[in-house]
Structure 1
Amino acid sequence: MQNPPPNRRYILKALAGMSAMAPLPLWAAPLPTVEEVAFDPDIPALGNPVGNVTVVEYTDYQCPYCKLSYIELSKVMAEDGNIRVVMRDWPIFGQVSRNAALLTLASHSQGGYAEAVQTLMTATERLTFRSTATLLSNAGIDVDLARNELGARQDVFVSLLARTEAQAKAFQLKGTPGFLIGKALYKRGMTADDFRKAIAQARA
């Protein structure tokens, strides 16, 4: 069992302390290409699907730093309508995380992917199989329909998670979160200011 997520003040302080870390340029082979990471046809894009910069987040729905970084990114997205976001599910915290990732991906067929992501990334309670289903149901997701979608397209979703895990390992991520913004890789949580700077650099 995981410990409860640290409080927000503590996490923000920790993220601020990591802000000085420089991004790692994607130049060494054989790394995944930006196209493979940011434009996977099996992952719906959030934000502006034709935005001029893509932010990719390697995430786990039980990772408190992932959640806080997502909330910080959401602030920047509210200011900037030209950001495209791709959530790459890397469920490193076990089967509950894997279940949450799969159900969220499967919700796309009923038009609920964005709502599912928002719900689970902002949830403050600890996830279980039951609470995940309840949260998604309260967000308007037909969980039974999502489970049927998983059964029908299991190979697609399992392959997608495998691709994401392979990318994370190729990038030598030690855990979640990790971000690809433009062509720069950030192996840490990020604040709103971090995102603004990284997005500006990507556009430059």
Structure 2
Amino acid sequence: MMFRTLATTALATTLLAGPSQALDLSAMSPEERAAFGAQVREYLLENPEVIIEAVNILEQRQAQAEAQQDVQLVAVNSAEIFNDGYSWVGGNPEGDITLVEFMDYRCGYCRRAVPEVAKLLQDDGNIRFIVKEFPILGDASVLASRFAIATLIVAGDDAYGQIHDALMEFTGDITDVTLARIGEGLALDVEAIKAEMNSAEVTRRIAETRALAQRLNISGTPSFVLETEMLRGFLPAEQMQQVVDALRDERS
């Protein structure tokens, strides 16, 4: 009975304590290890909730470690994230909080994020918003991004905002023909944009954004950087606002 009590205590310590407190099985004799193993099995069968508790603690520790790693990644790459000199800036350019979105025009969740981001920017009114063209869903995605970036270079911020919104709403096949029609519908100089699409500058911007995403361990869209926080995946406006409010509270 005494050994069973010791085994139970040791098991709880092993499952719930930190690595420095883990049980050293090498200090046991073969007979003790066998007896301990039998008691562990019996204990877990009688108390399966211990496994769930241990898994929950492990997941919490992993999430905390990943969040801390994200903070470090953002800090190291902050210049490229927030001030690369070429990504489109919207919202309130003088806002006290900056939200950066890595997006793809063919991404369904990016489309879902559009009204949520718009609501956040409108309701808050003090958020600077940066769009990172991150085409990862095939050739059509790259084609759309090239057209959008070329529009920014040729026609400026307002025209890019229009093209960006139009491409996010467009549900058909993205081709040279459909892009031209979208541009013509917005009264843009489509020929000048098409001439810029395959330029070295457009290629450079896409390549640099991809390299930045790789450094940030971003592999999917949408992905957001909200000041020091990495938000990986779609979030409704209310949840993003909660992060914004928490960031402001930390500063006050």
- Cα root mean square deviation, aligned: 2.3
- The AA in structure 2 aligned to 1:165 is R
SS of the residue aligned with 2:71?
A: coil
| Contact 1:181–1:202 under 8 Å retained in 2 | no
Counterpart-to-counterpart distance in 2, 1:68 and 1:117: 14
Q: 1:28 to 1:83 in 2, by over 3 A?
A: closer
Question: What count of residue pairs does the alignment treat as equivalent?
Answer: 182
| Contact 1:182–1:203 under 8 Å retained in 2 | no
Q: Does 1:115 align with 2:162?
A: yes
Higher percent of residues as helix = 2
> What is aligned with 2:218?
173
Q: Does 1:56 align with 2:100?
A: yes
Could you give the per-residue CA deviations for residues 142-178 of structure 1, whole angstroms, max 9, x where no partner exists? 2211122335xx2222111111111212222231110
> What is aligned with 1:183?
228
| Contact 1:56–1:88 under 8 Å retained in 2 | yes
> What is aligned with 1:24?
67
Gaps of 5+ in 1: 1-20
Please identify, of 77-86 and 120-129, the stretch whose mean Cα deviation from structure 2 is larger.
120-129
Could you give the per-residue CA deviations for residues 103-145 of structure 1, whole angstroms, max 9, x where no partner exists? 1111123131111111112223343332233223223332211
> What is aligned with 1:124?
171
Q: Does 1:192 align with 2:237?
A: yes
Counterpart-to-counterpart distance in 2, 1:30 and 1:187: 13
Counterpart-to-counterpart distance in 2, 1:29 and 1:52: 21
| Contact 1:37–1:56 under 8 Å retained in 2 | yes
Gaps of 5+ in 2: 1-62
| Contact 2:221–2:233 under 8 Å retained in 1 | yes
Counterpart-to-counterpart distance in 1, 2:116 and 2:169: 11
* Identity, % of aligned positions: 26
Whose radius of gyration is greater, 1 or 2? Answer: 2
Q: 1:198 to 1:138 in 2, by over 3 A?
A: farther
Equivalent positions of 1:50-89 (< 5 A) are 50-89=94-133
- The AA in structure 2 aligned to 1:24 is A
What is the TM-score with the length of structure 1 in the denominator? Answer: 0.79
Counterpart-to-counterpart distance in 1, 2:86 and 2:197: 13
| Contact 2:134–2:209 under 8 Å retained in 1 | yes
- The AA in structure 2 aligned to 1:171 is L
- The AA in structure 1 aligned to 2:184 is S
Q: Does 1:134 align with 2:174?
A: no
Counterpart-to-counterpart distance in 2, 1:50 and 1:28: 25
> What is aligned with 2:91?
47
Counterpart-to-counterpart distance in 2, 1:193 and 1:24: 20
Could you give the per-residue CA deviations for residues 19-42 of structure 1, whole angstroms, max 9, x where no partner exists? xx9983433459752221121101
SS of the residue aligned with 1:27?
A: helix
Deviation at 1:181, TM superposition (A): 0.6
Q: 1:71 to 1:125 in 2, by over 3 A?
A: farther
